[in-house]
Amino acid sequence: MQAAPINEAVLAGGCFWCVEHDLEKLPGVLDVQSGYAGGDKPNPTYQEVSAGGTNYVESVKVRFDPNKLSYETLLRSFWRNVDPTDGSGQFCDRGSSYRPVIFVADADQQKGAEASAAAARAELGSKKVLRVAIEPLKRFWPAENYHQNYAELNKPKYNFYRWSCGRDARLDAVWGKKARKGLMWSSLPLKPGGQR
């Protein structure tokens, strides 16, 4: 019996708690892990990354079933959960360790990331300058255990953080309230090969 295909994507959009929480809801996502990507030092810690100077970014690794969720659909959801006009951090989290990045593992992901950026630019209007970087994935390092599944395990603290950071208010201002409501995409038919 052949194992089901599993794809991975590494994305950064500010606080990894929030990106993990938002993307794990998508049908076809198997799991989301918080961690760090973009730097070179082995085994980075939260303290090192948040202090700056490591080139690491708070990121998530998304494992998904490509027969249920395409990379393109995953990226569309990612765009809707970041402020793509802010490359200096996201919402109340400032600095290079919170900048938005699509990390690409190969030429296919590079092509998909570039197409998703073009689609986001068209949706937002050509006068908007997008500040989401597309960078080669070096390696993803998992974050410490206390960061994993933080939103679910620490609901009151997470909900207060997310509200006080202004994340949802800014997302609604950028994309419109209706834009983020329809992120499940489960009604979109799959084309042959698992594409939507």
> pLDDT truncated to tens, each residue of the chain (196 aa)?
556 678 999 999 999 999 999 999 999 999 999 999 999 999 999 999 999 899 999 999 999 999 999 999 999 999 999 999 999 999 999 999 999 999 999 999 999 999 999 999 999 986 778 999 999 999 999 999 999 999 999 999 999 999 999 999 999 999 988 777 655 433 333 333 443 3
User: How far is it, in rounded angstroms, from Cα 91 to Cα 86?
Assistant: 8
DSSP symbol at 35: E
Report the DSSP beta bridge partners of residue 8: 63
Task: Please state the CATH superfamily assignment of the domain spanning residues 7-181 in this structure.
Answer: Peptide methionine sulphoxide reductase MsrA (3.30.1060.10)
Say what the pLDDT of residue 5 is: 73
DSSP symbol at 34: E
Would you say 89 and 31 are in contact if contact means Cβ atoms under 8 Å apart?
no
State the catalytic residues.
Answer: 15
Q: Where are the alpha helices (DSSP H) in the chain?
A: 16-23, 46-51, 71-80, 107-124, 150-153, 155-165, 167-175, 177-181
Say what the pLDDT of residue 195 is: 39
